[in-house]
Structures are given as C-alpha cells and as structure tokens.
C-alpha cells in the first residue's frame, strides 16, 4: 500500500502538480468552484426535503432537475481533488481532516442511498405535500454532513500548508 502511494506520488502528473507554481492553485480553485456548486445545489434539495423551501415544486421533479448539476460538479470536484491528493498523497493521508472528509463524504453518500432506496419508495404519496419524517431527517443529515465536509476541507489547508 505504502509503495503504491509512493508510486502515485512519483508519477509524472503528481510531480507536475506538486512542482508547478501555478498548477496547484489553479486545480485548487477549480476544486472550490466545483465543491461550492455541489454544496449549494444539494442545499436546494435538502431544504426541500426539510419542507423549508421550493415547496411549490414536487420533490421528484426538483431532484430530477437539480441533481444532475450536483453530479457534474461532484465529478469535477473529485477530479480536481484527486489531482491535489496524488501530488502529496502521504501527507494528505496523514492529515486527520482529510481522512475525516473522506469518511463524511461516504456518510453523505450512504445517507443519499438510504433515502433513495427506502424513504423515497413512497414518494408519490408526499411528492407535492409535506415531507415525512424520514425525508426531513435525510435532508437535515445531508446538510450537516456537507457543512462538515467543507469545514474539514478548509481545515486541511490550515493543517497542511501548501508549497
């Protein structure tokens, strides 16, 4: 495992990200733009699940319209984040906030899966009405998890200085 990480760190791409003066900040900015859009677009859905906003929009239509934006932004965020990671893989893995961030993203994914597979099964009965408790919990949990993800992301920068 350790050897694999070293191999990744020494790859041509990782080296150029690490050693280019401009490349790392550019990738980091792209990461932030993408993460911003992931968070903001998920908030739209979470607030609807909480019954706090977009109440005139059926949940199924709102998610069908907004979540593709979230997914595109998520793929860009993972791509840019992945490039930052491979440039200093060992240091990132040793950083507690980085590890916590990955766990929190996994938890957010799990929360979404539980919602889609269980809570949303009878969505037809509450699509236009007040969301049931399960949906509210999913929305609140998602919001808390993504705020935590961004908090950890920012703290990585403080505990692992660039350069």
Name the site residues for other proteins (rule: CB under 8 A). 25, 28-29, 32-33, 35-37, 39-41, 43-44, 53-54, 56-57, 61, 65-66, 68-69, 147, 150-151, 154-155, 158, 162
Asked if 2 and 120 touch (Cβ cutoff 8 Å), the reply is no
Q: How far are the Cα atoms of 50, 98, 122 from residue 117, in angstroms, in the given order?
A: 18, 29, 10
Asked if 27 and 116 touch (Cβ cutoff 8 Å), the reply is no
| Identity of the residue, 77 or 135, whose beta carbon is nearer to other proteins in the bound complex | 77
CB of 146 to other proteins, least distance (A): 9
CB of 3 to other proteins, least distance (A): 33
Task: Tell whether the torsion through CA atoms of 43, 47, 50 and 54 is positive or negative.
Answer: negative
| Identity of the residue, 69 or 107, whose beta carbon is nearer to other proteins in the bound complex | 69
């Amino acid at each position: 495992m350790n050897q694999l990480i070293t191999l990744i760190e020494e790859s041509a791409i990782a080296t150029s990200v690490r050693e280019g003066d401009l490349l790392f900040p550019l990738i980091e900015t792209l990461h932030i733009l993408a993460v911003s859009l992931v968070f903001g677009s998920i908030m739209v859905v979470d607030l609807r699940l909480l019954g706090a906003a977009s109440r005139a929009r059926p949940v199924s239509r709102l998610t069908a319209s907004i979540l593709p934006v979230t997914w595109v932004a998520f793929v860009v965020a993972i791509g840019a984040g992945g490039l930052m990671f491979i440039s200093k893989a060992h240091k990132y893995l040793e950083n507690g906030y980085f590890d916590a961030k990955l766990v929190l993203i996994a938890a957010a994914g799990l929360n979404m899966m539980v919602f889609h597979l269980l809570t949303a099964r009878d969505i037809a009965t509450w699509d236009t009405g007040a969301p049931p408790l399960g949906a509210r919990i999913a929305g609140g949990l998602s919001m808390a998890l993504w705020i935590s993800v961004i908090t950890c992301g920012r703290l990585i920068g403080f505990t692992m200085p660039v350069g």
